[in-house]
Structure 1
Amino acid sequence: MHGRITPMTLEKAPLYAFGADRPDEAENLIFVTNRGPIEHTFAPDGTFHASRGAGGVVSGLLWAADDRPISWISLAMTDADRALAEQLGDGTIAAPAGMTQLTSRLVSVPADMYQRYYDGFSNRVLWFAHHGMLRSDAVTAESHLDWAYGYYPVNEAVARAVVEELHTSGEMTPVMFQDYHLYLAPKMVRELEPNACLLHFIHVPWPSLKDWSSVPIDYVYAIYRGLVANDVIGFQTERDADRFLDGARRFLPGATILRKPDEIFFRGQRTQVRVYPIAITPGAVYESARSAEAQGQAGRILRGLGVGRRRKLVLRVDRLEPTKNIVRGFQAYERLLEDHPDLKEKVTFLALLVPSREGLEEYQEYAEQVRGAIDHVNRRFGTKGWQPIEAIFGNDHPRALACMEHYDVLLVNPLADGMNLVVKEGGLLNRRDGAIVLSISTGAYEQLHDGVLGIDPQDVDATSAALHRALTMHVGARAELASHVRSVLLQDDAGRWLSRQYDDLFHYTASRRRQRVPKLISFPTHQRSIQKHESYRPAKTEPLADRSQIPASVDLPSSIFSDMADSDDYGLGS
């Protein structure tokens, strides 16, 4: 068994100043996200209370940015957010919650519009499409209203805020959009600010052509056209980038697509497609896990479970939502106890589960399924002194990190995941040379495959077998796997992840910064594209839905189709 690994000191790479030709000073950045760095609530006396945002994307960006000056544009999510934004006029807050290098700008939209945008289209449609779980009947008449009166106008509001911020900070200030909530905004910004330097990083896995088949085709066209207005699009893995480029051949008629380096030329815009696997920051993770409060809570939980020499620990840490595949994980554990009765009372499964999107019916139903699976296993195998599964519901990230130090097996089996930071945090923190059972459908598997036990997340028997192998593996073999995982994770951090994106954006927009005028980029010839990539063939496609699927009873404003497919481009009737 190894003691705690001391994290390497990783210095942040310098950021080039976009107004200069050399990296001589820190540059202001504009982050654009759904959830902001600050969450506001009403204090008992009616005043506003500010605290740091809790989202994983937010936490990663905050650390990555560190002391760099940031203008952060995000949506007002709560009643307190909206009230404060309206009170401030432009929604701008300097140095919120004591973060002196940060300026927060809240974009306020009506609560019902935000709900349609966030719960309705972003999470009921896009989230499930990105994870390969969107049913063929999932897009309803209500979904079209969610697009028209939620997703589209919210993206417009965010784009206006970005343009206003560029007028203040300078048109060449780099803008970094994040994730699936804001796919339309880059094109809206580009139309008003042709010289803007735009990058969009997508944290979730990119859908295959088949996964897009349940989304109306006009919406997919609009999403692709919104994204290729960026100078750089970043993905977690090569698989995601390849899928995006496959889709570009289908959804961007007339585009020229080159490979290695991956580029798209569409209507005068050149877009680079790049891969930036998101990283954790070792120092920040250690600091959070080793806090006195986190250690105290974890110690009490583990002592209560009898974890130690007489009982091994299987651990999972997840948001309580369908893509995390929690129920199958418990079914695999049930199969393990069934096939290996000698393990009864010698292993405990601790599940730290974070409630998520509780307002959505799909999530409520899945939470009930998870609780039912836990009760079933405990009733079937539990004894007076031993409960096979111990589930703790709540959001306490430091406590979860502290528990990760002590697992014998970490189970991470999502159906799909852009990266999955739990496996990275666990692999870095664990002090028992614990083994990791990891879904091959996660982005993290591409980086860590030589140090984990890979599984098909839908195969319960294979998952059960991997759990058994992990629990019974020789200590030397476990140590070798754990050492490999740590060595990979200690080579990177969130600051370098951000700097790589910044560096690419700086270089890809160099000519525009010098000229400061709109310039039509010459398209590579079609013949050159064929010659350079003659071995490339697009994947076989599935039929897609079209505008005719929208019921006539759904009243949609005609303006929402202005950024979608023109009939001349796409062969669609009006």
Structure 2
Amino acid sequence: MASTQGAAEKARVLVASNRGPVSYTVYEDGGDGGAGSLRAKRGGGGLVSGLSAIGADAGSVWVCAALGDGDRAAVRRAAGGLLPAEDTGGQRVRMLDIDARVHSDAYNGIANSVLWFVHHMLYQTPLEPVFDAEFRRQWASYEAYNRAFAEALAEEAADGAAVLVQDYHLCLVPGMLRVLRPDLRIGHFSHTPWAPPDYFRLLPDDIAAALLSGILGADRAAFLTTRWADAFASCCAAVLGPDSLTGTEIGVHGLGADADFLRKRAHEPDVEERMAALRAEIGEGRKAVVRVDRTELSKNIVRGLLAYRQLLDDHPEWRERVVHIAFAYPSRQDLAVYREYTAAVQRVAQEINSAYGTAGWTPVVLHVKDDFARSLAAYRLADVALVNPIRDGMNLVAKEVPVVSDQGCALVLSREAGAYEELRADALVVNPYDVLETARALHEALSLRPEERADRAKRLAAAATALPPAQWFLEQLRALEELPAG
């Protein structure tokens, strides 16, 4: 395939990720542009902030996958080239129309149903995983999907360009790209945890080796915490041998909260409206224990609810004096296990309300429809933030709530969250599997004197914002560009 740019326009900085900075919806009802018109919606996050920070003259290109019918229509409209600048906020974006079946196999079959489960250690090992012929068929799609990214990056990159490949969806890209373009500086960043060797070796030997070798095709492999970086190095030594890391630098960059954006956004009118609604749901004079999560298996929402129920059992003095605001936004509902988990969250919340609720008090206020403004409203109202994942690469909610909370909140934090490394000094730390310990931590958090809670929150907020998104991206880019090309 020919490059979408002339030689003078080749990109000097490239980002590759499954999801890009823009998505498209097809409007069949006419919309503003007539039947079948496309509407673009821009996203946010650390990569968007980082690419914006390097400036328009940096010659950057973002390569991503088309994720739906609207995206695929936009790719066809652009003839496979760069998307219109008016859709992307001026960023140069190349979206790949990978065969829908191939993408589904790679994304749902391998990335989300195997690699995510391995790195978050989610398997019920008496029954799963099962690496059969269907797995091998899906693995071939994962290879094809990664190859499409590698080829597009090779086409778009200027001589000696810096390429930042993102996450577990694209583990094979660095190695494939190294073969196609040995002149490039290639980095890979893992946003998930990394499994320890014994668990990682649940994977077939050749698959484990391929994933590690793929990332080792990069000049630099980076992680959110030292713990995950060390686990990756241990896996390399166990699977590929003690000298396998030669030639690849390991880095750690702990993504922080964007304090300026959050504080500004949290005081806009729609957030104020939702605060009023939440105050009415909580009731006058009551404390709020807040959690905001996707219904992702690793987030441990059910045990969090069980711990709250244990709190009400062990400390009946909190009944009618506290409300658990639980936002559990549906995630990956195309996978049966996620639908079942979402149903379990709703069922346990209903059981608590049935057992303890009164005419004037609903113990658990559960919302399952995603609403960012409502999440920020809950952040501001939180007396206690509950973040208890069984395993998490970082967990930005743990960092965001202390930044936004109006009166300062206490943080009950799982030791298995990546954020634990930075926030443990001022958090109330729990074993995420221990419901009794989590209930005790909730009681302690609710019982803190207001001044102590506020002091803890200030220190948490300072630690949480140490490396905001734009700086996080630029730090990786600088480290990569300081390395010799190839």
Does residue 106 (structure 1) correspond to residue 95 (structure 2)? The answer is: yes
2:279 corresponds in structure 1 to 302
Which amino acid in 2 is paired with 1:37? P
Which amino acid in 1 is paired with 2:15? F
1:33 corresponds in structure 2 to 17
Give the deviation of 1:118 after TM superposition.
0.8
1:256 corresponds in structure 2 to 243
The CA RMSD measured in Å over matched residues stands at 1.5
Gaps of 5+ in 1: 1-26, 258-263, 513-517, 519-574
Distance 1:203 1:49 in 2: 29
Does residue 279 (structure 1) correspond to residue 270 (structure 2)? The answer is: no
Does residue 342 (structure 1) correspond to residue 342 (structure 2)? The answer is: no
Kept after mapping to 1: 8 A contact 2:329/2:369: yes
Give the deviation of 1:104 after TM superposition.
1.0
Kept after mapping to 2: 8 A contact 1:450/1:484: no
Kept after mapping to 1: 8 A contact 2:257/2:465: no
2:357 corresponds in structure 1 to 382
Aligned ranges for residues 16-55 of structure 1 at < 5 Å? 28-43=12-27, 44=29, 45-53=35-43
Give the deviation of 1:128 after TM superposition.
0.8
Does residue 393 (structure 1) correspond to residue 368 (structure 2)? The answer is: yes
1:197 corresponds in structure 2 to 185
Does residue 178 (structure 1) correspond to residue 178 (structure 2)? The answer is: no
Instruction: Summarize deviations over 1:502-526 as a string: whole Å, max 9, x none.
Output: 11111112xx3xxxxx7xxxxxxxx
Residue 435 and residue 316 in structure 1: after superposition, are their counterparts in 2 closer, same or farther (change >3 A)?
same
Give the deviation of 1:135 after TM superposition.
3.5
SS of equivalent residue, structure 2 residue 74: helix
Aligned ranges for residues 263-274 of structure 1 at < 5 Å? 264-265=245-246, 270-274=247-251
1:206 corresponds in structure 2 to 194
Which amino acid in 2 is paired with 1:163? A
Give the deviation of 1:155 after TM superposition.
0.5
Distance 1:275 1:377 in 2: 41
SS of equivalent residue, structure 2 residue 323: strand
Give the deviation of 1:486 after TM superposition.
2.0
Distance 1:323 1:302 in 2: 29
SS of equivalent residue, structure 2 residue 118: helix
Kept after mapping to 2: 8 A contact 1:311/1:345: yes
Give the deviation of 1:87 after TM superposition.
3.4
Does residue 125 (structure 1) correspond to residue 125 (structure 2)? The answer is: no
Aligned ranges for residues 372-451 of structure 1 at < 5 Å? 372-451=347-426
SS of equivalent residue, structure 2 residue 25: strand
Give the deviation of 1:477 after TM superposition.
2.3
SS of equivalent residue, structure 2 residue 197: coil
Give the deviation of 1:105 after TM superposition.
0.6
Which amino acid in 1 is paired with 2:221? I
Give the deviation of 1:380 after TM superposition.
0.6
SS of equivalent residue, structure 2 residue 425: helix
Does residue 363 (structure 1) correspond to residue 338 (structure 2)? The answer is: yes
Equivalences, count: 463
Distance 1:302 1:145 in 2: 52
1:532 corresponds in structure 2 to none
SS of equivalent residue, structure 2 residue 310: helix
Distance 1:295 1:63 in 2: 26
SS of equivalent residue, structure 1 residue 277: coil
1:161 corresponds in structure 2 to 152
Runs (4+) of structure 1 exceeding 6 A deviation are none
Kept after mapping to 2: 8 A contact 1:407/1:430: yes
Which of 65, 72, 86 lines up with 1:82 in the alignment?
72
Distance 1:368 1:406 in 2: 27
Give the deviation of 1:188 after TM superposition.
0.8
Instruction: Summarize deviations over 1:26-72 as a string: whole Å, max 9, x none.
Output: x942110000111111023101111013xxxx522112222524311
Kept after mapping to 2: 8 A contact 1:139/1:215: no
Does residue 187 (structure 1) correspond to residue 175 (structure 2)? The answer is: yes
Kept after mapping to 1: 8 A contact 2:254/2:467: no
Gaps of 5+ in 2: 1-10, 30-34
Does residue 144 (structure 1) correspond to residue 136 (structure 2)? The answer is: yes
Q: Identify the range of structure 1 (107-116 vs 121-130) with the bigger mean alpha-carbon deviation.
A: 107-116
* Identical-residue share of aligned pairs (%): 33
SS of equivalent residue, structure 1 residue 63: helix
Give the deviation of 1:292 after TM superposition.
1.0
TM-score under structure 1 normalisation?
0.78
Distance 1:450 1:139 in 2: 41
Does residue 217 (structure 1) correspond to residue 205 (structure 2)? The answer is: yes
Instruction: Summarize deviations over 1:104-123 as a string: whole Å, max 9, x none.
Output: 11111121111111111110
Which amino acid in 2 is paired with 1:65? L
Largest Rg, 1 or 2: 1
Which amino acid in 2 is paired with 1:120? G
Kept after mapping to 1: 8 A contact 2:151/2:177: yes
Which amino acid in 2 is paired with 1:334? R
Q: Identify the range of structure 1 (468-477 vs 199-208) with the bigger mean alpha-carbon deviation.
A: 468-477
TM-score under structure 2 normalisation?
0.92
SS of equivalent residue, structure 1 residue 405: helix
Kept after mapping to 1: 8 A contact 2:303/2:435: yes
Kept after mapping to 2: 8 A contact 1:125/1:134: no
Kept after mapping to 2: 8 A contact 1:289/1:399: no
Give the deviation of 1:96 after TM superposition.
4.3
2:46 corresponds in structure 1 to 60
Distance 1:433 1:370 in 2: 28
Distance 1:490 1:30 in 2: 26
